[in-house]
Structure 1
Amino acid sequence: MKLKTKKYKAGVFILIVLIIGVTLVMTFAMPKSGNLSDVTLPAAPADKPVQNVNSDILYKEKDWTTNFTHDASIIKADGRYYSFSTDYMVGAPPTPGIQIRKSKDLIHWEFVGRVFEQVSPEAWESTKGTTFWAPDVVKLNDKYYLYYSVSSVGKRNSYIGVAVSDNIEGPWIDEGAVFISQEGDEHTVNAIDPDIVLDEHGQAWMVYGSYFGGIFITKVDSATGKLVDPNDEGTLVAQRKNMNYGIEGPEIIYNGDTGYYYLTVSYEWLEDTYNVRTARSKNITGPYVDYNGSEMIDTTDESFNTGNKLVGAYRFENSDGWLGTGHNALFEENGEYYLTHNARAGEDVYWSHLHVRKIVWTDDGWPVVSPERYAGEAEQEINEENIIGKWEQILLPRYDDSLQDSQNLQLKSNGEMGEDDKSHWALTGDNTLELTVYDPGRAPDDYWKYKLKVIPAWDWENWNGTLVFTGMDQEGTVLWGKKTVEKNK
């Protein structure tokens, strides 16, 4: 009996040790919680949530901030960020003149004034247009060059001009036409939406165009700001099947780390289905190819599906969402990349705002953007315990440009997702969240595999700091996510 008792006690002791060991392993090996106490989150961008629609400011330009911004380009000068944008407002015809705003931090914007008071006689004669569209500003040879468009809606009667100034806020001297397109001329391009980009060797180029002929790129003489060959519309770099497949607002940026030029364009209609697409090339003149190997000059029925979608109409919970998320600009500062675009308030699509978003790069060198507007956040190390909890996710399908609503997502401490024990998550590499989503009969080999970058952000819908993710699946479709943060009551 005593021997049995000793064996029994020894067995109990071993069992207790095993339980303690397993508990310790579980405690230290598994993520413990979903708190963000060790993450540096951005501060609130304002004292209280920002109104997306506010009729009280209609005629108070000093209070416009990001309101009524359309087709903006961004340049940094004299320690400030400057936004130059299309003549636009709500409730009355816009005052002509290209709107100027400035900011210290890309978050808080101050209305500065306008360039010009009316279009030039030459631009009027060519187009009968009365307002300026889609400006772009670049510094060449210690001077600022402001490129602008004047156009006749729905026709190729369009005009790109350039103005020059020693100072970013002017005064500006109009230097006349850079390129003019006319119905029935020998060209196919529509002379609007210019973007000036320097290639890796310092040569300046103008990428431009829209509906009708597509997007072209041509050389610029840096000494004059005009084209090297005034009659050369350049090389076609992007187009779509026909006029029913909208394309416009081109931008190009070079990333020296990847060795690629990245072309962005906007598809569809500016008030609702507007969305930004991208493709890349080793040469500034193309060919530009998307994640799936499709060229951006595709004119087949598949041209609706070309380009990686970076941003499209979306709605998170507790908001009316944003539509018309297009006509972007790109810029880089100290190795950090940003994308700006129009966004129209879901409660009233005539209220257009400037959105600035941080770009992050996938491990294979593709840009993806934050699902939330920039608020000063900095990339930093994220731990597994930060990931656990409730999220909202938004898929941005390439074949559907309508407003996409968020769906709930639960990331559990055991690495599973929701109630599905066949779907899993893992945090790997450089803040890369891998989601393996079981979707039999629809996904390749029954699983969608997402590689997503996790960064801090400001939750503009719920007005608190949080984490977000952004990235793509194995077919190049973007998935956004935002963590739900439980607020103290």
Structure 2
Amino acid sequence: MAMLLMGLPLLGCSAQDEPKFVYPDKPVQYPMYDKSTLNNEADWHINNAHDPSIIKAEDGTYYAVSTDVRVGSPPKPGIMVRKSKDLIAWDWVGYAFNGIPAEAAAWTGAANLWAPDVHKFGEKYYLYYAASTFGTNQSYIGVATSASMEGPWEDQGEVVKSQKGDEANAIDPNIVIDADGKPWMAYGSFFGGIYVMAIDPATGKPAQPGDKGQRIARRDPATEEGAMEGPYIVYNEQFKQYYLFVSYDSLFSDYNVRVGRSDSITGPYTDMNGQRMDDIDFLPQYEIGNKIMGGYRFSEGEGWIAPGHNSVLNDDGDFYIVHHARPEGDKNWMYLHVRRIVWTKDGWPVVSPERYAGEQVQKVAKSDIAGDWERIVFDKDTDGQSEAEPLKLIADGHVGTKDSKDEWTFDGDHTVTLTWYEEDGSVASTEELLLLPSWDWERDMPVLTFTGLRSDGTGVWGKKQEGAGNSKK
């Protein structure tokens, strides 16, 4: 077997012309359920992070802003700010505000601030925040400005607000820049769905005063269990498409991330099957949207519950999804996760099964693919966690056993295609799976992983059981 040197190229185990690829070094790891940090904000590196949004400052520092939450006691209101140099190690910065801005507090009676987003217009950062109370749409999105991500922040007041009787719910703001350089704001949640409206970059507020925008996505009935919220839109120049990420279902138990795309920022957004994200007549509605991530458990290590409410970072063509997740041992804790996004040949985003540790998309040797894997399928009707199941890829191209009809093929670079057959020999489904040399956070070692989509728009994850040849001593 090949010998692994941490942070150095790993040679293929046969021919000299096989590609070399590099596994990430062991990343910093923060202890889980660390009660010694409960009252020490400086140690909240990735703990107490909920609904995170990310931006990269001009000096290369990444900043994440997030909802006011706290394990074990009521949170301090003010929008949490963290920073990182590598998207792996995170340091506490502090709070953007000392409490809730007066106008937002008067309109909503909120006890904390939710789901912020941040964007830079000109020389100023614009921090968008939401105030509301759970289960109502007496809600308010405001904006504050600063010359620095570390403040001080000056509140600029209302962007949009809502009240009982309105279809829209003024929470979960997200600023997106279209292909022509014009800013828009997506916002909304399960009351009336997701809306998008044009923004004036000079003020950071609606281009047309009083405008609440147009709806681009929704579900019905609008209940916590049937929620659609946390919109985030990103434009991919390569595919000339806008991608709408939303979170489905209950944030406490079965949050999952869905994706649709559009030629236009105002929609319509459709999934891999052509289903519109605003179609409330199609049943069952849980089938709409590519489900790229949900609660999961591999065979070893702790699983995660309700990952969601994500933002997306386009870092000079490298894309990352930033989201929160709850550990299965105690879902009252919430942690910040960053994962690499890779793109299928047809231009769909898929998410790494492992948290980011510095891995890069690389050419992989075919000889490194065959072996025992475990695979997670995010079936759209699954609530809660999806469990890993064994997958055997045989060197001759069969799946499971040598006499199986099911097969796998390799494109010679970093993409494997699984083809599953019916008993009559017809194709049941295919899976396009992109390989990533990653860090196995569950087993604390390098590992070859894959992520992709089934032909019906269902997310598929996997990782090799032998790791990178490193499990053999």
Q: TM-score range by the shorter chain?
A: over 0.9
Q: Secondary structure at the match of 2:284?
A: helix
Structure 1 unmatched runs, 5+: 1-30
Q: Say yes or no: does 1:457 pair with 2:438.
A: yes
Task: Choose from 434, 451, 469 the match for 2:417.
Answer: 434
Q: Quote how far apart the aligned CAs of 1:325 are.
A: 0.5
Q: Quote how far apart the aligned CAs of 1:37 are.
A: 9.9
Amino acid at match of 1:487: S
Give the corresponding residue for 1:200.
Answer: 179
Aligned-residue RMSD, C-alpha: 1.8
Q: Secondary structure at the match of 1:422?
A: coil
Q: Quote how far apart the aligned CAs of 1:264 are.
A: 0.6
Q: Quote how far apart the aligned CAs of 1:32 are.
A: 5.8
Greater C-alpha radius of gyration:
1
Q: Distance in 1 between matches of 2:141 and 2:252?
A: 24
Q: Say yes or no: does 1:289 pair with 2:270.
A: yes
Q: Distance in 2 between matches of 1:189 and 1:54?
A: 39
Amino acid at match of 2:200: D
Q: Distance in 2 between matches of 1:126 and 1:55?
A: 35
Give the corresponding residue for 1:251.
Answer: 232
Give the corresponding residue for 1:422.
Answer: 405
Question: Any conservation in 2 of the 1:317–1:406 contact (CA below 8 Å)?
Answer: yes
Task: Choose from 304, 312, 324 the match for 1:342.
Answer: 324
Deviations 1:171-227 (A, max 9, x none): 00001111110113xx41000000001101111101000011100000110001111
Which has the larger displacement, 286-295 or 51-60?
51-60
Give the corresponding residue for 1:52.
Answer: 32
Cα distance 1:364–1:42, how it changes in 2: closer, same or farther (>3 A)? Answer: same
Q: Say yes or no: does 1:242 pair with 2:221.
A: yes
Q: Quote how far apart the aligned CAs of 1:437 are.
A: 2.4
Q: Quote how far apart the aligned CAs of 1:468 are.
A: 0.8
Q: Quote how far apart the aligned CAs of 1:411 are.
A: 1.2
Task: Choose from 133, 155, 164 the match for 1:183.
Answer: 164
Question: Any conservation in 1 of the 2:133–2:139 contact (CA below 8 Å)?
Answer: yes
Q: Distance in 1 between matches of 2:150 and 2:101?
A: 20
Give the corresponding residue for 2:190.
Answer: 211
Q: Quote how far apart the aligned CAs of 1:418 are.
A: 2.0
Q: Distance in 2 between matches of 1:111 and 1:452?
A: 36
Question: Any conservation in 2 of the 1:220–1:227 contact (CA below 8 Å)?
Answer: yes
Give the corresponding residue for 1:24.
Answer: none
Amino acid at match of 2:101: S
Amino acid at match of 1:311: M
Question: Any conservation in 2 of the 1:41–1:456 contact (CA below 8 Å)?
Answer: yes
Question: Any conservation in 1 of the 2:19–2:365 contact (CA below 8 Å)?
Answer: no
Give the corresponding residue for 2:5.
Answer: none
Q: Say yes or no: does 1:379 pair with 2:358.
A: no
Amino acid at match of 2:271: D
Task: Choose from 311, 332, 343 the match for 1:329.
Answer: 311
Give the corresponding residue for 1:20.
Answer: none
Q: Quote how far apart the aligned CAs of 1:121 are.
A: 2.1
Give the corresponding residue for 2:471.
Answer: 487
Question: Any conservation in 2 of the 1:440–1:446 contact (CA below 8 Å)?
Answer: no
Q: Say yes or no: does 1:67 pair with 2:47.
A: yes
Q: Quote how far apart the aligned CAs of 1:248 are.
A: 0.4
Q: Quote how far apart the aligned CAs of 1:302 are.
A: 2.5
Give the corresponding residue for 2:91.
Answer: 110
Taking only the aligned residue pairs, the percentage that are identical comes to 46
Q: Distance in 1 between matches of 2:212 and 2:287?
A: 26
Q: Quote how far apart the aligned CAs of 1:476 are.
A: 1.6
Amino acid at match of 1:417: V
Count of residue correspondences: 452
Amino acid at match of 2:169: N
Which TM-score applies when normalising by structure 1?
0.89
Deviations 1:1-52 (A, max 9, x none): xxxxxxxxxxxxxxxxxxxxxxxxxxxxxx969xx99431001002xx6433
Q: Distance in 2 between matches of 1:274 and 1:388?
A: 33
Q: Distance in 2 between matches of 1:120 and 1:237?
A: 29
Which TM-score applies when normalising by structure 2?
0.92
Give the corresponding residue for 2:144.
Answer: 163
Q: Distance in 1 between matches of 2:382 and 2:300?
A: 23
Structure 2 unmatched runs, 5+: 1-12
Amino acid at match of 2:264: N
Amino acid at match of 1:405: E
Q: Secondary structure at the match of 1:193?
A: coil
Q: Secondary structure at the match of 1:123?
A: helix
Give the corresponding residue for 1:127.
Answer: 108
Deviations 1:282-322 (A, max 9, x none): 00000001000000101123322111011100001222300
Q: Say yes or no: does 1:230 pair with 2:214.
A: no
Question: Any conservation in 1 of the 2:302–2:442 contact (CA below 8 Å)?
Answer: no
Question: Any conservation in 1 of the 2:364–2:412 contact (CA below 8 Å)?
Answer: no
Give the corresponding residue for 1:306.
Answer: 288
Higher helix share: 1
Q: Distance in 2 between matches of 1:37 and 1:407?
A: 29
